[in-house]
Chains A and B, each alone.
Chain A
Amino acid sequence: MLKDITIGQYFPGNSVIHRLDPRFKIIITGVFIAMLFTADNFIGLGIGMVFLLVSFLLSQIPFKLMLKSLKPIIPIIIFTSILNLFFLDGVVLFKLGFIKVTYEGLRTSAFMIIRIVALIMGSSLLTYTTSPITLTDAIERLLSPLKKLKFPVHELAMMMTIALRFIPTLIEETDKIMSAQKARGADMESGSLLQRAKALTPILIPLFVSAFRRAEELALAMECRCYQGGDGRTRLRQLHSTGTDFFALGISIVFFDIIILMNCFLG
């Protein structure tokens, strides 16, 4: 049952976006997020959306998948738009009892919805087109200058890799423990929320114990393979940036500049 889940939401493909250097993809996503937050009028936001749409079309990700990524944030969208819609002061458009809708409220909530949707879509595009392992790799390399400030970059990346590696293993194990406890008559599907939460104890305790045991063995196996931290390490997979990467980054910066200009002239 739990076995079928996939880690992350990587959608394998071979589009231009997929082939971009992951380091550049992360930076471009950053620039895109900056665009969304700099834009203070609809034209600026529109330009940001054009940028998103073009990259989305280039990535060949099915539109359905994109919509799926928006699903978990629907409550947040509704919540923020209601807050903005009803509680902002300004020119009253219409009034119904104690509820009033203002022009400013309408404008801000529309603005917020577009901004949040674009934000989620943009970052999903990154995770859809980059596998988790490549992403970890890229983060390690992007953060590597922080090593000089004694920030544990390699350790962080190693932790992420091991976490990714052990998610399926631990899920499988949880599945096994659950079956074992059910076979002994554990009831996990009925009762109040509190009872059900309590019923999780006999699953979590064995899971933790085995996770610690695994960690110890893994540490031993890593030691046997001469692991000594990040110093002097080389990598099998090398990241190469090509002309396309610089071109893509250039384009996104041009878009960013246009949005800033829009702010100056229209704001």
Chain B
Amino acid sequence: MQEKIITAQNVEFHYDNEYEDAPVKQVLKGVSLDIEKGSFTAILGHNGSGKSTIAKHFNAILLPCGGKVYVEGIDTADEEKLFDIRQHVGMVFQNPDNQIVATIVEEDVAFALENLGVAPDEMRERVDDALKSVGMYEYREHSPHQLSGGQKQRVAIAGIIAMRPDCIVLDEPTAMLDPKGRREVLKTIRRLNRDYGITIVLITHYMDEAAQADRIVVMDGGTIIMDDVPKEVFSNVETMKKIGLDVPQVTELMYLMGEAGLPSDTHIIDEDECVEALLELLK
């Protein structure tokens, strides 16, 4: 049994209404989820599925209206432990421009450490390490507006890494980026997970990004409807389509071949496997 870093128990959440007579819209309807240490989990879902809302519970930006969330055993409702929780679980948002505080890359990476009162010598070391781990060390003296979107997002990730968190939650980190930037960021995320053992929770609506995770949680209408390894999740092509989500193109090809009566396997999610399967079929 693996150690859990985040445990959500039957979390319910709704936003307070401005008008009292308006019906309360339940955003989360009892979500239970465990995130294992060192894992790479993707949370997939359509707009309004509650995927970002549950992510915001993981580092106490939002507190559950019902149920509990524990980070390393600490209840997120415990206000005194707020900064402990946020050091354990860092969060990266969609728009890199709105996350960078300082006018120089390295100063921005140091921001969290300055807030925590880390001594300057140690800070220097941690900032350099963080920048190296996202491959932005050469740009440390640049100003953020000189960087591309993907580079800015990597700086934002470095700003979180500098806190040395155990887990990083990324809320659609690639939504504002071009394909090149997306690849850069995703490569960085995977490296952080593999080489540094940082637990990753990736909120996304890109199937190809989710396919790279160890586990996919699919959300719809405030509940979890699927929770499995990518192969299994994507093989449910019909369910995915019903809630407005796509599957990777190769899986879709396999699915359509199956519909046409050809032998196929919808557990295929990457291109190499697909090519092999097709070659097998053509023999």
| A-to-B contact residues, CB < 8 Å | 7, 132-133, 161-162, 164-165, 168-169, 172, 214, 217-218, 220-228, 232-238
Contact = CB atoms under 8 A, between A and B. Distances in A.
Contacts of B160: 224-225
Contacts of B81: none
Contacts of A172: 145
A225 B115 CA distance: 8
A234 B117 contact: yes
Nearest to B127: A236
B98 A236 contact: no
B155 to A, nearest CB: 12
Interface stretch (B4-12, B72-80, B87-95, B239-247): B87-95
B271 interface: no
A238 B114 CA distance: 12
Interface in B43-57: none
Nearest to B110: A236
Interface string B54-74: 000001010000000000000
A224 B119 CA distance: 20
Contact of A226 (B98, B100, B103, B116): B116
B159 interface: yes
Contacts of A234: 113-114, 117-120, 123
Contacts of A233: 114-115, 117
A217 B102 contact: no
User: DSSP majority for the B interface?
Assistant: helix
B112 interface: yes
Contacts of B167: none
Which of B61, B98, B127 has the largest number of chain A CB atoms within 10 A? B98
Contacts of A7: 103
Given A221-B91, A236-B120, 6 more contacts: A164-B103, A168-B145, A225-B101, A227-B111, A234-B119, A236-B127
B101 A226 contact: no
Given A161-B102, A214-B97, A234-B123, A220 B107 contact: no
Contacts of A222: 101, 111
B120 A232 contact: no
Nearest to A235: B114
Contacts of B95: 214, 217
Contacts of B114: 233-236
B163 interface: yes
Contacts of B59: 224
Interface string B124-161: 10010000000000000001110000000000100110
B110 A217 contact: no
